[in-house]
Structure 1
Amino acid sequence: MPLKYSTARFLTSAPTLAKCPVDSGVEVAFAGRSNAGKSSAINAITQQKALARTSKTPGRTQLINIFSLGDDVDRRLVDLPGYGYAKVPENIKQEWQRHLSDYLHRRASLKGLVLVMDVRHPLTEFDLDLLEVADDRDLPVHILLTKADKLKKGAAKNALQQVRSRLREWEDLISIQLFSSLKRQGVEDVHQRLDSWMEDETGVAG
């Protein structure tokens, strides 16, 4: 049976890995540059308007925000701090990056990563760094090329093909799709990917 992502609800926020819930069950984390539309994507995927807080000022998400699927605290969605754009002091930015790295490297219950990129500005240095981390621990990654509605259909398909071509070396670990929160384009595809991770405790992409 497909999981009901519309039942997602806020569980807790954690400033560090040590403050996260018990490391058991299955988690899927969402990461991305602060202006890539990550919060809007989470809200579209869960069919909620404000589960993940959106802001006109990118970089406001400074905590690891964790959501359970209804009462099932063993299946969780995780909204990681946005990176690479926030207008904050450099020392704070470096602290965020350290906590992000700790979580990605050490969280045993993390079974998959949804990496959110603006289709018009994909594969930034930060995105590639994150893919390297995922590769280090053999963590499957599903890339959402967001704001696909901002491009004409042909241009969006070309952008998708270009990203696939650049990431060919990681094709065994990565899946990629176009996505639009505004048009709800690609939501069902994300649900299928999440289902494969949530149901398969080995974390192997289905």
Structure 2
Amino acid sequence: MIIKKSELLITAARVDQYPETIVDEIAFAGKSNVGKSSMINALVNRKSLARTSGQPGKTQTINFYNVNDALNLVDLPGYGYAKVSKTEKEKWGKMIELYLNNRFQLKEVVLLVDIRHAPGINDIKMYQWIKSYGYTGYVIATKADKISRGQREKYISVIKKTLEIEDRNLIITFSASQKLNVDKCWDLIENLIVAN
């Protein structure tokens, strides 16, 4: 996709704050610090459209980014950060659930996992949750630049096995810093929008 325009529409903590747009939406879920914001920046070829932070648990709202007035990329709050209170975790869970239940524009929820680590219990729960809503179950394995090219398939096998993914094609390796598979991610997004 040729990016002519990309902007942050709104950061929403409540349903009544969601943007009143009718364009298709693709949402990204994943634990804190997995690289959702970095991926969005790489996709739109901007350094800091989505704010990144070395501090996990930074995204505590649902952030809507519009691309070319044609679709919204949606950054869901990161989960699984230990220093966040139980009440806060529950609040994030409800926030995500409300979004999944109230957004007719939502075409797919894509899970991001760190390629270097086997998906944890929260990743497994989130993946099962995504699948239970009827979504395909695409996974983007981030931070692929942190391991050698030869090691990637081994790590992908672990992700595939842990999340019980049958089709290897549902997993895309990705690196925001090296722009690895940005085109592949756009192909996926464009196919999802066309398919719906």
Question: What is the CA distance between 1:5 and its match in structure 2?
Answer: 4.3
- 2:195 and 2:175 map into 1 onto residues whose CA distance is 27
Q: The residue matched to 1:156 in structure 2 has which SS?
A: helix
Aligned 1:36-115 pairs, distance under 5 A: 36-72=34-70, 75-85=71-81, 87-115=83-111
Q: Displacement, 1:40?
A: 0.9
TM-score by length of 1: 0.86
1:23–1:108 Cα contact (<8 Å) kept? no
Aligned length: 196
Partner of 2:179: 184
5+ residue gaps in structure 1? 202-206
Distance 1:43 1:91 in 2: 30
Matched residues in 2 for 1:150 and 1:188: separation? 20
Partner of 2:117: 121
Moved more, 144-153 or 132-141: 132-141
**Residues 94/6 of structure 1: CA separation in 2 closer, same or farther (3 Å cut):** farther
Q: Aligned in 2, Cα 1:17/1:141: closer, same or farther, shift over 3 Å? A: farther
Q: Which has the larger displacement, 103-112 or 180-189?
A: 103-112
The equivalent of 1:155 in structure 2 is: 151
**What are the superposed Cα offsets for residues 92-132 of structure 1, whole Å, 9 maximum, x if unpaired?**
12101111122123322111122111111242212111222
Tell me, in whole angstroms, the C-alpha distance in 2 between the residues paired with 1:100 and 1:178.
25
Q: 2:195 aligns with which of 190, 194, 200?
A: 200
Q: What is the CA distance between 1:86 and its match in structure 2?
A: 5.7
After superposition, the C-alpha distances for 1:64-108 in whole angstroms (9 at most, x for unaligned) are 110111334xx2111111111162222112101111122123322
Amino acid at match of 2:61: L
**Percent sequence identity over matched residues?**
34
Segments of structure 2 that go 5 or more residues without pairing to the other structure are none
Does the C-alpha gap of structure 1 residues 151 and 200 become closer, same or farther in structure 2, counting only changes over 3 Å? Answer: same
Compared with structure 1, are the counterparts of its residues 6 and 37 closer, same or farther at alpha carbon in structure 2 (3 Å cutoff)? farther
